[in-house]
């Protein structure tokens, strides 16, 4: 998939799922039924194209195109976009440890669809 197509697909998913989404970096929804999502980055702003490019760059450079890195996020009432590169881990203790190392307030329990606060 060409980069322009990738950005277009991711943008389409975000704009059609403003309440929340988790996708792979080709723009396809992630189907996980257990474990935890842990955010590794916090990317926020109004320029969606720029934010997507930033997330893709961080994933490529910082995480060496790791296939276990996903893009999650949502849009708030003021049309701020929140994008997080996330990792899927099945073990709660390891998930908490990674969340703390990446200065996260919480991790996300996939099965219960709820946050697990770390602090």
Query: Using one digit for the tens of pLDDT, what is the confidence trace for 33-67?
Result: 899 999 999 899 999 999 999 999 999 898 887 88
What are the residues whose beta carbons fall under 8 Å from the beta carbon of 105, sequence distance 6 or more?
117, 118, 119
Q: What is the pTM of this model?
A: 0.86
pLDDT < 50 stretches in the chain: none
34 contacts: CB under 8 Å, gap ≥ 6:
90, 110, 111
Give the three-class secondary structure for 12: helix
What is the total count of domains within the chain? Answer: 1
- Domain containing 104: what range? 3-117
């Amino acid at each position: 998939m060409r980069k322009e197509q990738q950005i277009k697909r991711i943008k389409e998913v975000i704009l059609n799922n403003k309440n929340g989404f988790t996708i792979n970096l080709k723009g396809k929804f992630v189907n996980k039924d257990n474990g935890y999502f842990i955010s590794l980055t916090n990317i926020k702003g109004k320029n969606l194209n720029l934010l997507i490019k930033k997330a893709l760059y961080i994933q490529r450079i910082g995480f060496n195109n790791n296939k276990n890195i996903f893009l999650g996020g949502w849009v708030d009432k003021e049309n701020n976009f929140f994008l997080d590169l996330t990792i899927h881990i099945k073990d709660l203790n390891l998930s908490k440890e990674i969340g703390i190392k990446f200065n996260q307030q919480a991790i996300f329990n996939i099965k219960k669809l709820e946050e697990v606060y770390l602090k």
